[in-house]
Amino acid sequence: MSYRALLENNRRWAGERTLADPSYFRRVAREHRPHTLFIGCSDARVPADVITQSGPGELFMHRNIANQALATDANLQSALQYAVEALGVQDIVVCGHEGCGGVRAAMQSEAPPLVDTWVAGVRTVMRLHDAELRAIGDDDLRLAHLVELNVMEQVRSMARMPVVREAWAGGASLRVHGCVYDLRSGLLRDLGATVDPNAALGARRAG
C-alpha cells in the first residue's frame, strides 16, 4: 500500500466516522484516559487496537522488536512512567506473538547487527531455560515456547521497575499481565503470569 493510499484511507475513515457520529472526534480529543499500557512487538501483523477491538484513547501503546521490557530502554521507561503516573492506567499487558521474528533472530546468528544487539535480552532468557528448550526437538515448538518464556520474563521485569514498585507502594491496584497472540487464529492466549500488588508483596516477603 502506498503512502498516498494511506492518506486516502484516512480521509475515508474520518469521513465515515464523522457521518455516523458528528461529535466523535471532539469527544476523543477532549480527554486522554487509557485504561491499559500495551507493550507489544513491532510486527505489523499484531495491531493492538484491532485485535482487542479497542477504540482511540483506550490503549497507551509501546512497541519494539520482541516486546521487551528492558530497564535500560529510556523509551520504554518514559512511556511507563507517563502511563502509570500521569495517565493512571490500571493494567499493563506484555503481548508476544507466535512466529516472532525477533525471538527467532535470538535463536539464530544471522540477524542484522543492531537487531542482534537488541535481542540479547531474549538470548538471556534462552540461557536461563537452556535445558528446557533443548529438550524440545521441533524447531517451531521450541520457538513457540521461547516466545512464551520471553513474555513471562518481560512481565517479571516490568514488575521490578521502580515506577511500578512505587505505584504499588502508594496503594495503586496496577496489574501486569502476559499473553501471546496467535497469528493463525487471531486469538490472544493468557499465560497466567499476572502480577498484582498482593503477589508482589508476597514475593518480597518470601525473599
Any idea which residues carry the catalytic annotation?
41, 43, 45, 97, 100
Q: Residue 138 corresponds to which amino acid? A: D
What order of strands is seen across the sheet that includes strand 91-97? 59-64, 36-41, 91-97, 175-181, 188-190
Cβ density class 59-68: b for 16+ within 10 Å, e for less? bbbbbbbbbb
Identify the CA nearest to 154 among candidates 184, 127, 124. 124
CA atoms within 13 A on the CB side of 186: 5
The answer for residues whose C-beta is within 8 angstroms of residue 155's C-beta and 6 or more apart is: 69, 94, 176, 177, 178, 191, 193, 194, 195
| Cα–Cα dist 202/182, whole Å | 32
| Cβ atoms of 79 and 60 closer than 8 Å | yes
d(CA 90, CA 85): 11
Mapping DSSP to helix (H, G, I), strand (E, B) and coil, where does residue 18 land?
A: helix
